[in-house]
Amino acid sequence: MQKTDEYIASRLTWKAKQYSLPTEYSFYFENLTQKKKDHYYEYIMDQNIGIPTLLFIQPNSTKWTIIGTRKIVWGENGQSESLLFSNIKEIKPHSLDSKEKFEKAVNGSLPKMEWNELTLTEI
């Protein structure tokens, strides 16, 4: 069964709600003002990401990440990069304060909401 972009967007939104999103620095793309959407569309319109669903921004920074239904796109200072979900081999927490927190995160006991940066490993 081929899953549509609309189906994947609804699943991303459903999962985000389980993690109490949106937050101060995370947003549902559809709920952004048109001005904000247009700003990010400049970076993603040529990326073929599917339906942009979630936006994450970094406090006190110009860094942002958008999760679409086909790709994840991130950028800052007018530059962006993307990665197809099918090319992601592994996702791990990154930049945790201590080895203990890293081990807790990998073993599943540190809530994902406390992961403030991820490392994506490509196939």
CATH number for the domain running over 5-122 = 2.30.29
Looking at residue 101, what is its pLDDT? 59
As a whole number of Å, the CA-based R_g of the chain is 15
pLDDT of residue 23: 86
Q: What is the pLDDT of residue 86?
A: 82
Residue 95 burial class via C-beta count within 10 angstroms: exposed 0-12, middle 13-18, buried 19 and up: exposed
Cα dihedral 94→60→58→95 (10° resolution):
0
pLDDT, tens digit, 9 for 90 and up, residues 27-56: 999 999 999 999 999 888 888 999 999 999
Please state the domain extents for the chain. 5-122
CA atoms within 13 A on the CB side of 45: 6
Question: pTM score, two decimals?
Answer: 0.76
Q: In which residue ranges of the chain is pLDDT below 70? A: 1, 90-123
